[in-house]
Structure 1
Amino acid sequence: MNAVIDHLVIAADSLEQGAAWCAATFGVQPSGGGKHPLMGTHNRVITISSESFPDCYLEVIAIDPDAPAPGRPRWFGLDHPEVREAVRESPRLVHAVARTRKIEMLRRDLANFALNPGELLAAQRDTPDGLLKWRITVRDDGRAECAGALPSLIEWEGQHPCAHMPFTDVALQGLVLRGVPTEAVDVLKLPAVHTSPIAAVQNAPLTATLKSPRGRVVLDAWHFGS
Protein backbone atom coordinates (compact mmCIF):
# COMPACT_ATOMS: atom_id res chain seq x y z
CA MET A 1 0.00 0.00 0.00
CA ASN A 2 1.06 3.57 -0.67
CA ALA A 3 -1.75 5.28 1.24
CA VAL A 4 -4.57 4.48 3.69
CA ILE A 5 -7.85 6.23 4.37
CA ASP A 6 -7.22 8.86 7.04
CA HIS A 7 -10.59 10.57 7.43
CA LEU A 8 -13.99 11.29 5.94
CA VAL A 9 -15.09 14.88 5.37
CA ILE A 10 -18.62 16.01 6.27
CA ALA A 11 -19.36 19.54 5.09
CA ALA A 12 -21.80 21.47 7.29
CA ASP A 13 -23.37 24.91 7.26
CA SER A 14 -22.20 25.38 10.86
CA LEU A 15 -20.55 23.27 13.53
CA GLU A 16 -23.75 23.37 15.58
CA GLN A 17 -25.69 21.93 12.64
CA GLY A 18 -22.98 19.33 12.07
CA ALA A 19 -22.91 18.25 15.72
CA ALA A 20 -26.68 17.85 15.79
CA TRP A 21 -26.51 15.77 12.58
CA CYS A 22 -23.84 13.48 14.09
CA ALA A 23 -25.94 12.94 17.22
CA ALA A 24 -29.03 12.12 15.16
CA THR A 25 -27.16 9.96 12.62
CA PHE A 26 -24.72 8.03 14.82
CA GLY A 27 -25.88 8.62 18.38
CA VAL A 28 -22.51 10.24 19.13
CA GLN A 29 -21.57 13.90 19.54
CA PRO A 30 -18.35 15.06 17.84
CA SER A 31 -15.76 16.69 20.06
CA GLY A 32 -12.32 18.25 19.93
CA GLY A 33 -11.37 19.80 16.65
CA GLY A 34 -10.37 23.42 16.28
CA LYS A 35 -9.66 26.22 13.83
CA HIS A 36 -7.77 26.13 10.51
CA PRO A 37 -6.21 29.60 10.04
CA LEU A 38 -5.01 28.69 6.54
CA MET A 39 -8.53 28.17 5.19
CA GLY A 40 -10.82 30.09 7.54
CA THR A 41 -12.59 26.89 8.61
CA HIS A 42 -13.13 24.99 11.84
CA ASN A 43 -14.08 21.42 12.69
CA ARG A 44 -15.26 18.81 15.16
CA VAL A 45 -14.14 15.17 15.01
CA ILE A 46 -15.01 11.63 16.07
CA THR A 47 -12.90 8.51 15.72
CA ILE A 48 -14.27 5.88 13.31
CA SER A 49 -11.29 3.52 13.47
CA SER A 50 -11.77 -0.17 12.74
CA GLU A 51 -9.61 -3.18 11.93
CA SER A 52 -9.89 -2.38 8.22
CA PHE A 53 -9.44 1.37 8.69
CA PRO A 54 -7.03 2.00 11.61
CA ASP A 55 -6.43 5.52 12.94
CA CYS A 56 -9.39 6.86 10.98
CA TYR A 57 -11.76 9.64 11.94
CA LEU A 58 -14.73 11.63 10.70
CA GLU A 59 -14.41 15.38 10.39
CA VAL A 60 -17.35 17.76 10.48
CA ILE A 61 -16.07 20.96 8.87
CA ALA A 62 -17.65 24.36 8.28
CA ILE A 63 -16.64 27.87 7.30
CA ASP A 64 -15.63 29.74 10.46
CA PRO A 65 -17.79 32.90 10.60
CA ASP A 66 -15.25 34.58 12.89
CA ALA A 67 -12.22 33.95 10.67
CA PRO A 68 -11.01 36.26 7.90
CA ALA A 69 -11.52 35.04 4.34
CA PRO A 70 -8.46 33.06 3.22
CA GLY A 71 -8.03 34.92 -0.09
CA ARG A 72 -8.40 31.67 -2.05
CA PRO A 73 -11.05 28.95 -2.46
CA ARG A 74 -11.33 26.83 0.68
CA TRP A 75 -10.64 23.10 0.62
CA PHE A 76 -13.26 20.39 0.00
CA GLY A 77 -15.38 22.66 -2.20
CA LEU A 78 -16.75 24.56 0.80
CA ASP A 79 -17.02 27.81 -1.19
CA HIS A 80 -18.75 26.21 -4.16
CA PRO A 81 -22.27 27.73 -4.48
CA GLU A 82 -23.89 24.31 -4.94
CA VAL A 83 -22.19 22.97 -1.81
CA ARG A 84 -23.15 26.05 0.19
CA GLU A 85 -26.78 25.63 -0.85
CA ALA A 86 -26.81 21.88 -0.20
CA VAL A 87 -25.39 22.05 3.34
CA ARG A 88 -27.94 24.62 4.42
CA GLU A 89 -30.43 21.76 4.21
CA SER A 90 -28.22 19.12 5.86
CA PRO A 91 -24.55 18.22 6.35
CA ARG A 92 -23.14 16.14 3.48
CA LEU A 93 -20.36 13.62 2.99
CA VAL A 94 -18.17 15.27 0.35
CA HIS A 95 -14.76 13.62 0.39
CA ALA A 96 -12.22 11.18 1.84
CA VAL A 97 -8.60 11.98 2.65
CA ALA A 98 -5.80 9.40 2.37
CA ARG A 99 -2.74 9.33 4.64
CA THR A 100 0.70 8.64 3.20
CA ARG A 101 4.41 8.96 3.86
CA LYS A 102 5.04 9.39 0.13
CA ILE A 103 2.96 12.48 -0.56
CA GLU A 104 5.29 14.13 -3.06
CA MET A 105 5.79 10.94 -5.06
CA LEU A 106 2.08 10.06 -5.14
CA ARG A 107 1.08 13.59 -6.10
CA ARG A 108 3.57 13.52 -8.98
CA ASP A 109 2.45 10.08 -10.12
CA LEU A 110 -1.23 11.11 -10.18
CA ALA A 111 -0.37 14.24 -12.16
CA ASN A 112 1.39 12.04 -14.71
CA PHE A 113 -2.01 10.52 -15.52
CA ALA A 114 -3.53 13.93 -16.32
CA LEU A 115 -5.18 14.16 -12.90
CA ASN A 116 -5.06 17.30 -10.80
CA PRO A 117 -4.55 16.25 -7.17
CA GLY A 118 -3.70 19.84 -6.20
CA GLU A 119 -0.73 21.65 -4.78
CA LEU A 120 0.95 20.71 -1.51
CA LEU A 121 0.01 23.09 1.30
CA ALA A 122 1.28 23.15 4.88
CA ALA A 123 -1.43 23.55 7.53
CA GLN A 124 -1.80 23.34 11.29
CA ARG A 125 -4.25 23.77 14.15
CA ASP A 126 -3.93 24.12 17.90
CA THR A 127 -5.28 21.45 20.23
CA PRO A 128 -5.20 21.03 24.04
CA ASP A 129 -2.68 18.23 23.41
CA GLY A 130 -0.34 20.26 21.24
CA LEU A 131 -0.02 21.59 17.72
CA LEU A 132 -1.15 19.37 14.85
CA LYS A 133 0.82 19.90 11.64
CA TRP A 134 0.36 18.36 8.23
CA ARG A 135 0.79 18.73 4.49
CA ILE A 136 -2.21 18.23 2.22
CA THR A 137 -3.03 18.41 -1.49
CA VAL A 138 -5.50 21.16 -2.37
CA ARG A 139 -6.53 22.26 -5.86
CA ASP A 140 -6.45 25.97 -6.68
CA ASP A 141 -10.20 25.93 -7.28
CA GLY A 142 -10.87 24.20 -3.94
CA ARG A 143 -12.61 21.25 -5.57
CA ALA A 144 -11.55 17.61 -5.50
CA GLU A 145 -10.66 15.52 -8.55
CA CYS A 146 -13.12 12.92 -9.91
CA ALA A 147 -16.12 14.74 -8.38
CA GLY A 148 -14.61 14.15 -4.93
CA ALA A 149 -13.93 10.43 -5.41
CA LEU A 150 -10.15 10.77 -5.71
CA PRO A 151 -8.94 11.22 -2.12
CA SER A 152 -6.85 14.21 -1.19
CA LEU A 153 -3.46 13.23 0.18
CA ILE A 154 -2.30 14.13 3.67
CA GLU A 155 0.99 13.62 5.47
CA TRP A 156 1.07 14.25 9.21
CA GLU A 157 4.10 15.70 10.95
CA GLY A 158 4.37 14.14 14.38
CA GLN A 159 1.22 13.09 16.21
CA HIS A 160 -1.98 11.96 14.54
CA PRO A 161 -5.34 13.38 15.71
CA CYS A 162 -6.66 9.93 16.66
CA ALA A 163 -4.00 9.67 19.36
CA HIS A 164 -6.07 11.95 21.62
CA MET A 165 -9.64 11.27 20.48
CA PRO A 166 -12.00 9.52 22.89
CA PHE A 167 -13.18 6.06 21.84
CA THR A 168 -16.61 5.83 20.20
CA ASP A 169 -18.79 2.96 19.03
CA VAL A 170 -18.75 4.35 15.49
CA ALA A 171 -16.54 2.46 13.03
CA LEU A 172 -15.94 2.69 9.29
CA GLN A 173 -16.68 -0.70 7.76
CA GLY A 174 -16.50 -0.01 4.03
CA LEU A 175 -15.71 2.68 1.48
CA VAL A 176 -16.50 2.70 -2.24
CA LEU A 177 -14.91 5.22 -4.63
CA ARG A 178 -16.53 5.60 -8.06
CA GLY A 179 -14.99 7.25 -11.10
CA VAL A 180 -11.35 6.91 -10.02
CA PRO A 181 -9.21 5.87 -13.01
CA THR A 182 -7.53 2.48 -12.77
CA GLU A 183 -4.12 4.15 -13.02
CA ALA A 184 -4.87 6.23 -9.91
CA VAL A 185 -6.06 3.16 -8.02
CA ASP A 186 -2.76 1.47 -8.85
CA VAL A 187 -0.82 4.50 -7.62
CA LEU A 188 -2.59 4.77 -4.26
CA LYS A 189 -3.03 1.05 -3.47
CA LEU A 190 -5.62 1.83 -0.80
CA PRO A 191 -6.33 -1.22 1.39
CA ALA A 192 -9.94 -2.19 2.16
CA VAL A 193 -11.32 0.33 -0.36
CA HIS A 194 -13.51 -0.77 -3.26
CA THR A 195 -13.11 1.25 -6.45
CA SER A 196 -14.78 1.54 -9.82
CA PRO A 197 -13.49 3.48 -12.84
CA ILE A 198 -17.11 4.11 -13.87
CA ALA A 199 -18.83 7.22 -12.53
CA ALA A 200 -22.48 6.80 -13.47
CA VAL A 201 -24.56 9.94 -13.04
CA GLN A 202 -26.99 8.18 -10.73
CA ASN A 203 -24.24 6.95 -8.41
CA ALA A 204 -22.54 8.90 -5.63
CA PRO A 205 -18.80 9.48 -6.14
CA LEU A 206 -18.17 7.78 -2.79
CA THR A 207 -20.20 5.73 -0.34
CA ALA A 208 -19.18 5.05 3.26
CA THR A 209 -20.71 2.34 5.44
CA LEU A 210 -20.36 2.66 9.21
CA LYS A 211 -21.63 0.86 12.28
CA SER A 212 -22.87 3.01 15.14
CA PRO A 213 -25.05 2.98 18.25
CA ARG A 214 -27.90 3.90 15.88
CA GLY A 215 -27.18 0.84 13.74
CA ARG A 216 -25.74 0.58 10.25
CA VAL A 217 -25.31 3.94 8.53
CA VAL A 218 -24.69 4.36 4.79
CA LEU A 219 -23.56 7.78 3.60
CA ASP A 220 -23.57 8.68 -0.08
CA ALA A 221 -21.43 11.67 -1.02
CA TRP A 222 -23.08 14.54 -2.79
CA HIS A 223 -21.98 14.96 -6.41
CA PHE A 224 -20.99 18.55 -7.19
CA GLY A 225 -18.86 18.21 -10.30
CA SER A 226 -15.18 17.57 -10.97
Structure 2
Amino acid sequence: MSRSRIDHLVVTAPTLEAGADYLRNLLGVEPVPGGTHPRMGTHNRLLKLGESCYLEVIAVDPAAARPNRSRWFELDAFGLNPPCLRAWVANTDSIEAACAASSLSLGLIEPMCRGELEWLISIPANGDLVMQGVAPQLIQWPADRHPAAKLADSGCKLVGLEGFHPQAKQIEQCLANIGFDDCFSVSLPPPGMSPHLAATIQTPAGLRRIGGASGFRL
Protein backbone atom coordinates (compact mmCIF):
# COMPACT_ATOMS: atom_id res chain seq x y z
CA MET A 1 0.00 0.00 0.00
CA SER A 2 1.23 3.51 -0.78
CA ARG A 3 1.98 5.90 2.09
CA SER A 4 1.41 9.64 2.03
CA ARG A 5 1.91 12.72 4.19
CA ILE A 6 1.43 16.49 3.86
CA ASP A 7 3.97 17.87 1.40
CA HIS A 8 2.97 21.50 1.05
CA LEU A 9 0.20 24.07 1.42
CA VAL A 10 -0.83 26.21 -1.54
CA VAL A 11 -1.72 29.90 -1.21
CA THR A 12 -2.95 31.34 -4.51
CA ALA A 13 -2.54 35.07 -5.08
CA PRO A 14 -3.04 37.69 -7.81
CA THR A 15 0.71 38.45 -7.62
CA LEU A 16 3.63 37.05 -5.67
CA GLU A 17 3.99 40.40 -3.94
CA ALA A 18 0.38 40.24 -2.72
CA GLY A 19 0.91 36.69 -1.50
CA ALA A 20 4.09 37.66 0.33
CA ASP A 21 2.26 40.56 2.00
CA TYR A 22 -0.48 38.15 3.08
CA LEU A 23 2.02 35.87 4.81
CA ARG A 24 4.00 38.75 6.27
CA ASN A 25 0.85 40.20 7.85
CA LEU A 26 -0.44 36.89 9.20
CA LEU A 27 2.75 35.03 10.10
CA GLY A 28 5.32 37.79 10.44
CA VAL A 29 7.73 36.05 8.06
CA GLU A 30 8.89 36.53 4.48
CA PRO A 31 8.65 33.74 1.86
CA VAL A 32 11.78 33.28 -0.25
CA PRO A 33 11.92 33.25 -4.07
CA GLY A 34 11.15 29.91 -5.65
CA GLY A 35 11.08 29.82 -9.44
CA THR A 36 8.95 29.39 -12.52
CA HIS A 37 6.82 26.52 -13.83
CA PRO A 38 7.21 26.70 -17.63
CA ARG A 39 4.39 24.27 -18.44
CA MET A 40 1.89 26.18 -16.30
CA GLY A 41 2.92 29.81 -16.79
CA THR A 42 3.19 30.32 -13.02
CA HIS A 43 5.84 31.21 -10.47
CA ASN A 44 6.14 30.90 -6.70
CA ARG A 45 7.67 31.83 -3.38
CA LEU A 46 8.31 29.35 -0.58
CA LEU A 47 8.27 29.15 3.22
CA LYS A 48 9.79 26.21 5.08
CA LEU A 49 7.40 24.56 7.56
CA GLY A 50 9.43 21.47 8.43
CA GLU A 51 12.09 19.09 7.15
CA SER A 52 9.83 17.86 4.36
CA CYS A 53 7.00 20.40 4.43
CA TYR A 54 6.62 23.93 3.11
CA LEU A 55 4.11 26.59 2.09
CA GLU A 56 3.93 27.76 -1.50
CA VAL A 57 2.63 31.13 -2.68
CA ILE A 58 1.74 30.71 -6.36
CA ALA A 59 0.55 33.20 -8.97
CA VAL A 60 0.31 33.61 -12.72
CA ASP A 61 3.70 34.65 -14.10
CA PRO A 62 3.13 37.84 -16.14
CA ALA A 63 6.39 37.26 -18.02
CA ALA A 64 5.38 33.78 -19.20
CA ALA A 65 3.42 32.86 -22.29
CA ARG A 66 -0.11 31.64 -21.61
CA PRO A 67 -0.06 27.82 -21.60
CA ASN A 68 -2.19 25.90 -24.06
CA ARG A 69 -3.92 24.19 -21.14
CA SER A 70 -5.70 25.08 -17.91
CA ARG A 71 -3.37 26.29 -15.17
CA TRP A 72 -3.31 24.35 -11.91
CA PHE A 73 -4.99 25.34 -8.63
CA GLU A 74 -7.81 27.15 -10.48
CA LEU A 75 -5.56 30.12 -11.21
CA ASP A 76 -7.35 30.78 -14.50
CA ALA A 77 -10.68 31.21 -12.71
CA PHE A 78 -9.60 32.70 -9.38
CA GLY A 79 -6.07 33.99 -9.94
CA LEU A 80 -7.12 37.61 -9.46
CA ASN A 81 -8.84 36.93 -6.13
CA PRO A 82 -7.17 38.02 -2.86
CA PRO A 83 -4.55 35.62 -1.45
CA CYS A 84 -6.10 32.53 0.10
CA LEU A 85 -5.13 29.07 1.32
CA ARG A 86 -6.70 27.21 -1.58
CA ALA A 87 -5.21 23.71 -1.66
CA TRP A 88 -2.76 21.22 -0.24
CA VAL A 89 -0.54 18.55 -1.74
CA ALA A 90 0.27 15.14 -0.26
CA ASN A 91 3.64 13.49 -0.84
CA THR A 92 3.39 9.81 -1.75
CA ASP A 93 5.97 7.09 -2.23
CA SER A 94 4.04 5.73 -5.25
CA ILE A 95 1.86 8.21 -7.08
CA GLU A 96 0.63 5.62 -9.56
CA ALA A 97 -0.50 3.25 -6.80
CA ALA A 98 -2.06 6.08 -4.76
CA CYS A 99 -4.04 7.47 -7.69
CA ALA A 100 -5.24 3.99 -8.59
CA ALA A 101 -6.32 3.30 -5.00
CA SER A 102 -8.04 6.63 -4.45
CA SER A 103 -11.83 6.63 -4.24
CA LEU A 104 -11.78 10.17 -5.70
CA SER A 105 -10.39 11.14 -9.09
CA LEU A 106 -7.25 13.09 -8.25
CA GLY A 107 -6.35 13.94 -11.84
CA LEU A 108 -3.78 12.85 -14.40
CA ILE A 109 -0.19 12.14 -13.35
CA GLU A 110 2.08 14.64 -15.09
CA PRO A 111 5.78 15.49 -15.03
CA MET A 112 6.61 19.02 -13.88
CA CYS A 113 9.76 21.04 -13.32
CA ARG A 114 11.03 24.23 -11.68
CA GLY A 115 14.65 24.97 -12.49
CA GLU A 116 16.59 21.77 -11.86
CA LEU A 117 13.80 20.23 -9.79
CA GLU A 118 11.60 17.59 -11.42
CA TRP A 119 8.62 15.72 -10.00
CA LEU A 120 5.34 13.94 -10.74
CA ILE A 121 2.04 15.49 -9.68
CA SER A 122 -1.65 14.69 -10.11
CA ILE A 123 -3.53 17.50 -11.87
CA PRO A 124 -7.21 17.53 -12.93
CA ALA A 125 -7.24 18.23 -16.67
CA ASN A 126 -9.58 21.22 -16.29
CA GLY A 127 -7.43 22.85 -13.61
CA ASP A 128 -10.13 22.46 -10.94
CA LEU A 129 -9.31 21.61 -7.36
CA VAL A 130 -10.33 18.20 -6.01
CA MET A 131 -13.28 18.68 -3.65
CA GLN A 132 -12.73 22.47 -3.72
CA GLY A 133 -9.18 21.96 -2.49
CA VAL A 134 -10.10 20.03 0.66
CA ALA A 135 -8.93 16.74 -0.88
CA PRO A 136 -5.24 16.68 -1.81
CA GLN A 137 -3.41 16.59 -5.06
CA LEU A 138 -0.57 14.05 -5.00
CA ILE A 139 3.13 14.58 -5.61
CA GLN A 140 6.14 12.29 -5.83
CA TRP A 141 9.65 13.69 -5.62
CA PRO A 142 12.81 11.89 -6.69
CA ALA A 143 14.49 10.13 -3.79
CA ASP A 144 16.39 12.52 -1.49
CA ARG A 145 15.46 15.63 -3.50
CA HIS A 146 12.75 17.33 -1.49
CA PRO A 147 12.80 21.14 -1.99
CA ALA A 148 12.20 21.88 1.71
CA ALA A 149 15.64 20.48 2.48
CA LYS A 150 17.26 23.45 0.71
CA LEU A 151 15.06 26.15 2.24
CA ALA A 152 16.37 28.30 5.07
CA ASP A 153 14.76 27.77 8.46
CA SER A 154 11.86 30.24 8.71
CA GLY A 155 11.17 29.60 12.39
CA CYS A 156 7.77 28.26 11.31
CA LYS A 157 6.31 24.78 11.63
CA LEU A 158 3.00 23.32 10.53
CA VAL A 159 1.07 22.23 13.62
CA GLY A 160 -2.11 21.05 11.93
CA LEU A 161 -4.27 21.33 8.82
CA GLU A 162 -8.07 21.19 8.83
CA GLY A 163 -10.51 20.79 5.98
CA PHE A 164 -14.22 21.54 5.99
CA HIS A 165 -16.47 20.00 3.34
CA PRO A 166 -20.04 18.65 3.09
CA GLN A 167 -18.61 15.38 1.75
CA ALA A 168 -16.13 14.94 4.58
CA LYS A 169 -16.69 11.17 4.78
CA GLN A 170 -15.77 10.71 1.12
CA ILE A 171 -12.57 12.68 1.64
CA GLU A 172 -11.73 10.59 4.73
CA GLN A 173 -12.17 7.45 2.64
CA CYS A 174 -9.88 8.82 -0.06
CA LEU A 175 -7.18 9.55 2.54
CA ALA A 176 -7.48 6.05 3.97
CA ASN A 177 -7.14 4.56 0.49
CA ILE A 178 -3.91 6.44 -0.26
CA GLY A 179 -2.35 5.49 3.08
CA PHE A 180 -2.39 9.02 4.48
CA ASP A 181 -0.93 9.46 7.97
CA ASP A 182 -0.35 13.06 9.07
CA CYS A 183 -1.80 16.09 10.89
CA PHE A 184 -4.91 16.64 8.74
CA SER A 185 -8.53 16.33 9.79
CA VAL A 186 -11.70 16.89 7.77
CA SER A 187 -15.20 17.64 9.04
CA LEU A 188 -18.46 19.26 8.00
CA PRO A 189 -18.28 23.05 7.55
CA PRO A 190 -20.11 25.26 10.04
CA PRO A 191 -23.62 26.27 8.91
CA GLY A 192 -23.55 28.79 6.10
CA MET A 193 -19.85 28.32 5.31
CA SER A 194 -18.46 26.95 2.06
CA PRO A 195 -15.70 24.31 1.81
CA HIS A 196 -12.35 25.65 2.99
CA LEU A 197 -9.00 24.88 4.59
CA ALA A 198 -7.41 26.23 7.77
CA ALA A 199 -3.82 25.71 8.91
CA THR A 200 -2.29 26.29 12.33
CA ILE A 201 1.35 27.33 12.13
CA GLN A 202 3.89 27.87 14.89
CA THR A 203 5.78 31.08 14.12
CA PRO A 204 8.55 33.02 15.93
CA ALA A 205 5.76 35.21 17.35
CA GLY A 206 3.50 32.32 18.45
CA LEU A 207 0.69 30.30 16.93
CA ARG A 208 -1.04 31.74 13.89
CA ARG A 209 -3.91 30.41 11.81
CA ILE A 210 -4.48 30.97 8.11
CA GLY A 211 -7.28 29.83 5.86
CA GLY A 212 -10.83 30.47 4.75
CA ALA A 213 -11.64 34.07 3.88
CA SER A 214 -9.24 35.52 6.45
CA GLY A 215 -6.59 34.66 9.03
CA PHE A 216 -6.51 35.43 12.71
CA ARG A 217 -4.29 35.11 15.74
CA LEU A 218 -4.88 32.39 18.32
Indicate whether the TM-score tops 0.5: yes
**CA contact 2:26–2:210 (8 Å) conserved in 1:** no
Secondary structure of the residue aligned to 2:185 is strand
Gaps of 5+ in 2: 214-218
Q: Report the Cα distance in structure 1 between the residues aligned to 2:195 and 2:211, rounded to whole angstroms.
A: 6
Q: Report the Cα distance in structure 2 between the residues aligned to 1:190 and 1:209, rounded to whole angstroms.
A: 17
1:209-220, aligned counterparts within 5 Å? 209-220=200-211
Structure 1 residue ranges (4+ consecutive) displaced by more than 6 angstroms after TM superposition? none
The CA deviation string for residues 53-82 of structure 1, in whole angstroms up to 9 with x for no partner, is x410000100000101111111111111xx
Q: Report the Cα distance in structure 1 between the residues aligned to 2:209 and 2:28, rounded to whole angstroms.
A: 14
Once the two structures are TM-superposed, the CA of residue 178 in structure 1 deviates from its matched residue by 2.8
Structure 2 residue corresponding to 1:99, chosen from 80, 91, 115: 91
Q: Counterpart in 2 of 1:176? A: 162
Gaps of 5+ in 1: none
- Letter of the 1:120 partner, please give it: I
Determine whether 1:116 maps to 2:105: yes
Secondary structure of the residue aligned to 2:79 is helix
Secondary structure of the residue aligned to 2:114 is strand
Q: Report the Cα distance in structure 1 between the residues aligned to 2:38 and 2:212, rounded to whole angstroms.
A: 26
Q: Counterpart in 2 of 1:84? A: 79
Matched positions, count: 205
Q: Report the Cα distance in structure 2 between the residues aligned to 1:28 and 1:92, rounded to whole angstroms.
A: 16
Secondary structure of the residue aligned to 1:33 is strand
TM norm structure 1: 0.84
Q: Give percent identity, aligned residues only.
A: 35
Q: Counterpart in 1 of 2:216? A: none
- Letter of the 1:24 partner, please give it: N
**CA contact 1:92–1:221 (8 Å) conserved in 2:** yes
Q: Counterpart in 2 of 1:136? A: 121
- Letter of the 1:206 partner, please give it: L
Pair 199,20 (structure 1): closer, same or farther in 2 beyond 3 Å? closer
Q: Counterpart in 2 of 1:148? A: 133
Secondary structure of the residue aligned to 1:61 is strand
